[in-house]
């Protein structure tokens, strides 16, 4: 195996690398083994129901699609839908860190307005003097534990806030992209957040159309951390089928994946959590095709919901 895309300060002989890979490399998801968040790869958000009471406190009244959920900590990845005129006019804070991207509409926290494709990472305890959505909003949101809302200002809070990014104003770059992934395709990213201590990294990814591995084959790879993915637009084809807008996966550490490519290009959010992002490439080439049947890896309760999607509207 070859290791690329490694974070600075993390070498192959590093204990963090060795322990994680030896323990989990190639291990398929087993529903009988303890695992806080289950392997979901992949499901389209359109196939998931809007629910209320999914989250505690004031969030319970909102329409919510739960993409994945940690039954132990309450951490979750959700799509929240705020109705027009929604308002929380008094100071509050959350006991969880919230990372979010506005998919539709507009949202306000304090004096900051978050419009389409605006991003924020607000650690636990981050002050929220007021919150509102005049036109309504749909927000892709990641909570790192159960998001309990508390009145007033927190006495302590997390660090590393990214209070506001307007993604439309950020340049694309291929700097830092694994060279293996640049072979035969254009792939660029915007780094929205990177905690170099714990390794959490969030990217916006964009691949060009006709982005496939050279000679229609490439090796699989895995990471010693979780990879989480949400497709905003376009298509990505991999071993589990064709992901289009709304597709989501939560892939635990150590699971082999790929090769991937895109016939029409794509825009997607990618998160690496619960460890440092390292690409560990396997030895053997695997065949690649833009046409693959939908063959997801899903927990039993999600299987009846998952229908997959096709990209051809004609
Ligand atoms: Fe990956």
CA of 221 from ligand 1 middle (Å) equals: 7
The structure tokens 């714990």 sit at: 198
Is there a contact between 75 and 273 (Cβ–Cβ < 8 Å)?
Answer: no
Q: C-alpha dihedral over 209, 211, 216, 217, to 10 degrees?
A: -150
* Coil vs helix vs strand at 120: strand
CA of 56 from ligand 1 middle (Å) equals: 32
Average confidence (pLDDT) over 288-314: 88
Model confidence pLDDT, tens digit, residues 73-120: 999 999 999 999 999 999 999 999 999 999 999 999 999 999 999 999
Question: What pLDDT is attached to residue 2?
Answer: 52
CA of 95 from ligand 1 middle (Å) equals: 30
At 6, the pLDDT band (50, 70, 90 cuts) reads very low
Question: What pLDDT is attached to residue 154?
Answer: 80
Question: What pLDDT is attached to residue 98?
Answer: 97
In Å, what is the CA distance from 85 to each residue of 105, 188, 265? Answer: 12, 37, 36
Beta strands in 9-91 (DSSP E): 40-44, 63-69, 76-82, 86-88
Residues with CB under 5 Å of ion ligand 1 are 227
Tell me: pLDDT of 33 over 80. no
Q: Parallel, antiparallel, or unpaired for β 137-143 and 98-105?
A: antiparallel
The structure's pTM equals: 0.88
Nearest to 122 by CA among 142, 136, 138: 142
**Residues 6 or more apart whose Cβ sits within 8 Å of residue 231:** 243, 244, 245, 246, 247, 248, 266, 267, 268
DSSP structure class, residue 255: -
* Coil vs helix vs strand at 168: helix
Which H or E run includes 99?
strand 98-105
* Coil vs helix vs strand at 266: strand
CA of 109 from ligand 1 middle (Å) equals: 33
CA of 127 from ligand 1 middle (Å) equals: 34
CA of 5 from ligand 1 middle (Å) equals: 11
Domains belonging to the chain, first-starting first, are 2-34+170-302 (2.60.120.10), 48-157 (2.60.120.10)
CA of 277 from ligand 1 middle (Å) equals: 9
CA of 100 from ligand 1 middle (Å) equals: 21
CA of 167 from ligand 1 middle (Å) equals: 22
Question: What pLDDT is attached to residue 21?
Answer: 31
CA of 272 from ligand 1 middle (Å) equals: 9
Question: What pLDDT is attached to residue 48?
Answer: 96
Nearest to 142 by CA among 193, 197, 187: 193
CA of 94 from ligand 1 middle (Å) equals: 30
CA of 41 from ligand 1 middle (Å) equals: 12
Question: What pLDDT is attached to residue 1?
Answer: 52
- Measured CA angle at 73 (ends 69, 77), to 5 deg: 30
Question: What pLDDT is attached to residue 312?
Answer: 64
Model confidence pLDDT, tens digit, residues 199-223: 999 999 999 999 999 999 999 999 9
CA of 280 from ligand 1 middle (Å) equals: 9
């Amino acid at each position: 195996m070859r290791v690329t895309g490694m974070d600075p300060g993390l070498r192959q002989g590093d204990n963090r690398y060795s322990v994680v890979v030896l323990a989990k490399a190639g291990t398929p998801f087993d529903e009988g083994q303890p695992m806080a968040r289950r392997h979901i790869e992949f499901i389209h958000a359109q196939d998931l129901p809007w629910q209320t009471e999914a989250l505690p406190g004031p969030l319970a009244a909102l329409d919510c699609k739960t993409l994945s959920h940690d039954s132990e900590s309450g951490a979750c990845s959700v799509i929240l839908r705020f109705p027009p005129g929604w308002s929380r006019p008094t100071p509050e804070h959350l006991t969880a860190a919230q990372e979010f991207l506005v998919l539709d509409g507009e949202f306000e926290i304090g004096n900051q307005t978050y419009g389409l494709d605006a991003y924020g990472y607000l650690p636990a305890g981050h002050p929220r003097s007021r919150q509102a959505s005049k036109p309504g909003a749909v927000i892709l949101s990641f909570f790192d534990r159960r998001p309990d809302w508390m009145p007033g200002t927190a006495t302590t809070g997390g660090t590393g806030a990214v209070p506001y990014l307007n993604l439309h104003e950020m340049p694309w770059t291929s700097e830092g992209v694994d060279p293996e992934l640049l072979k035969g395709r254009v792939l660029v990213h915007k780094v929205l957040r990177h905690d170099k201590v714990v390794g959490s990294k969030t990217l916006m990814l964009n691949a060009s159309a006709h982005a496939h591995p050279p000679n229609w084959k490439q090796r699989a790879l895995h990471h010693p951390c979780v990879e989480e993915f949400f497709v905003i637009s376009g298509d990505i084809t991999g071993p589990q089928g064709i992901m289009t807008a709304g597709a989501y996966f939560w892939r635990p550490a150590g699971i082999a994946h790929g090769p991937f490519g895109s016939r029409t290009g794509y825009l997607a959010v990618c998160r690496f959590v619960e460890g440092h992002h390292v690409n560990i490439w396997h030895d053997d080439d695997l065949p690649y095709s833009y046409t693959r049947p939908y063959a997801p890896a899903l927990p039993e309760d999600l299987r009846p919901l998952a229908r997959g999607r096709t990209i051809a509207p004609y």
